[in-house]
Amino acid sequence: MLSDKLKSFGVADAADINNCWPTEERLKKGPVVVVECFQEIPCNPCETSCPRQAIVVGANINDLPQVDHNKCNGCTVCVSRCPGLAIFVVDATYSPTESAITMPYEFLPLPQKGETVEALDREGNARGAATVIRVVNTKAQGKTPLVTLAVPKGREKDVRFFRRR
């Protein structure tokens, strides 16, 4: 069921996010996918691209993806395959003070490794500085580059995009 905020403004609220968020126990094991797909539309590239079958849409491609976070190793294949840009990989084990978030990025020019950017939440609000730690843009991903940001611990659920300075 869609929250009122998602229905009215197209932005997920805390309850929506908690429904797709991995357990704290799973987050402690390393990178893991977060699928923020909340609307029933005919789509299943996440399922067909996942080499570990961690994401299942099922026979009805209008169903929402279901994730078995324990099967996921955070490979990021699904992130670049999602046409809705609704999939992220979170690595809460990146460092003692930072988490890493891998996200799709469809703008040019691409940021550079080491660049400091402004982290943004789902509504475009600034959430502090972040550092680009990886940019991957290979043919294997199709046409969607992936950018990984290091963000302060505690921002894993908030940060979903960035603005270059």
Helices (H), the chain: 4-9, 14-20, 24-27, 45-49, 77-81
Domain hosting residue 28, numbered range: 4-164
Minimum mean pLDDT range among 2-11, 33-42, 64-73, 86-95: 2-11
Segment 27-36, tens digit of pLDDT: 999 999 999 9
Predicted local confidence at residue 139, as pLDDT: 79
Compute the distance between CA of residue 27 and CA of residue 83 in angstroms, rounded to an integer: 25
Number of domains in the chain: 1
Predicted local confidence at residue 132, as pLDDT: 98
